[in-house]
Every structure is written in structure tokens, then in C-alpha cells.
Amino acid sequence: METMPERINVIRTVTYDVQSVIKDLEELEVEPIDLETVMNYITDWVEEDMRAPISRHDITYLDENGQEL
């Protein structure tokens, strides 16, 4: 019988292009454009993206030792 892991961590990865975010902020005339502003802007996108249906390609399954399943 195969050994079962104690835990399975599921990680959903979404990548955001910082230069595109900065361009959007500039067009919206947001100031100042610093790391905190960029992170806050991306956080809004993250909330929306996390509500979207998941694709098998967006997630990674790891055991408790960080080994991909």
C-alpha cells in the first residue's frame, strides 16, 4: 500500500506584471507610485482572481515535505 502524506498543501499561483500595474496607476494618475501602492492595487486583482474557477494548471499540490504530488 502506498504511503499517504500527513498533509497536502495546495498553492494557487498567479503572476502579475509590475510594469503593467505601474502603467495602469500612471494612467489613473495615482500618486505616489511606490511598492505599497502597487501591492494594494494587485491585492484587488488577487481577490477577484481567487474567486475565479481554478484550472489544474494554476495550482500545485505539495506534501508536508514540499514534494510535489
Please state the domain extents for the chain. Answer: 8-63
Q: How many CB atoms lie within 10 A of CB 19?
A: 7
Within a 13 Å sphere around the CA of 45, how many CA atoms are in the beta-carbon half?
A: 15
Residue 28 pLDDT more than 90? Answer: yes
- What's the CA gap between 45 and 51, in Å, rounded? 10
Q: What is the pLDDT of residues 31-69, one digit of tens each?
A: 999 999 999 999 999 999 889 888 777 889 999 998 998
- What's the CA gap between 63 and 35, in Å, rounded? 33
pTM over 0.85: no
Q: What is the pLDDT of residues 6-20, one digit of tens each?
A: 999 998 888 899 999
Rg for the chain, CA atoms, rounded: 17
